[in-house]
């Protein structure tokens, strides 16, 4: 899959952002898609083709980087500046690479679709996460 190349230092939440915070359950980089593990009560990297159902549905995107057991801020909905090369009007999804974000065209058979948002510009993603819970 061709995931977005995100500059972690450029990840910024918009003024309309809904946020959450918690503890990282593994090393997470700003701009990666995450889910909240009910087992560990920590934020973990989401992955569309994970064997674990909970991991296949992102719940937000990390706003900062964090190592295991360090604090992390999460954008759950709203505008997110990624400074990645987005295509305006294109939908972006959770990828098969842990924490990755990719366009719909890069999803593969067997991936569980988790829609993350639509590009408002070449740098801003309007995040509104939705998952059907089914593989393509």
Residue 124 covered by a domain: yes
Residue 20 covered by a domain: yes
Q: How far apart are the first and last CA of the chain?
A: 15
Residue 3 covered by a domain: no
pTM above threshold 0.75? yes
Domain membership of residue 40 as a residue range: 8-135
Residue 14 covered by a domain: yes
Tens-digit pLDDT profile for residues 98-124:
999 999 889 888 889 999 999 999 999
CATH number, residue 73: 2.40.300
What pLDDT does 60 receive? 98
Residue 1 covered by a domain: no
* In the predicted structure, residue 1 carries a pLDDT above the cut 60: no
Residue 73 covered by a domain: yes
Q: How many domains does the chain divide into?
A: 1
Residue 21 covered by a domain: yes
Residue 89 covered by a domain: yes
């Amino acid at each position: 899959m061709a995931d977005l190349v995100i500059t972690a230092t450029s990840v910024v939440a918009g003024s309309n952002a809904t946020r959450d915070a918690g503890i990282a359950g593994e090393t997470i980089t700003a701009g990666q898609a995450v889910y909240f593990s009910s087992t560990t009560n920590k934020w973990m990297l989401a992955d569309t083709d994970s064997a674990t159902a909970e991991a296949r549905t992102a719940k937000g995107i990390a706003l900062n980087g964090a190592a295991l057991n360090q604090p992390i801020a999460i954008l759950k909905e709203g505008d997110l500046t990624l400074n990645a090369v987005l295509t305006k009007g294109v939908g972006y999804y959770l990828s098969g690479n842990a924490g990755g974000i990719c366009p719909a065209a890069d999803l593969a058979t067997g991936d569980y679709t988790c829609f993350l948002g639509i590009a408002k510009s070449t740098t801003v993603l309007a995040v509104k996460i939705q998952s059907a819970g089914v593989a393509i």
